Structure 1
Amino acid sequence: MTTRDDVIALVRRMQECFNTRQFDQAADLHTPDFFSHPLGATGFEAGKDAWTKLVAQFPDVRVVADDIVVDGDRVAVRSSVQGIAIPEGNAQPMLIEIFRIADGRFAEAWGATEGPDPRVS
Structure 2
Amino acid sequence: MVNSDARALALRMHEAFNARDVAAADGIFAPGFHSHPLRGGVDAVKAAWTAMFAADPAIRTVLEDVLVDGDRVALRSTVHRSAGPAAGTTMLEVFRVAEGRIAELWGAAAMVDR
Alpha-carbon shift at residue 96 of structure 1 (Å): 0.4
Superposed CA RMSD: 1.5
Q: For this pair of structures, how many residues does the alignment match?
A: 112
Listed as ranges, the matches of 1:95-106 within 5 Å are 95-106=91-102
Q: Deviations over 1:8-49 (max 9, x none)?
A: 1111111111101111012111110000000111x3111000
Paired residue for 1:115?
A: 111
Give secondary structure in 2 for the equivalent of 1:53: helix
Paired residue for 2:32?
A: 33
Q: Give % identity.
A: 46
Distance 1:68 1:60 in 2: 23
- Please, which runs of 5 or more residues in structure 2 have no aligned partner? none
Q: Would you tell me which structure has more helix in proportion to its own residues? A: 2
Give secondary structure in 2 for the equivalent of 1:76: strand
- Please, which runs of 5 or more residues in structure 1 have no aligned partner? 117-121
Instruction: State the TM-score, normalizing by the size of structure 1.
Output: 0.87
4+ residue runs of structure 1 moved beyond 4 angstroms?
A: none
Paired residue for 2:62?
A: 64
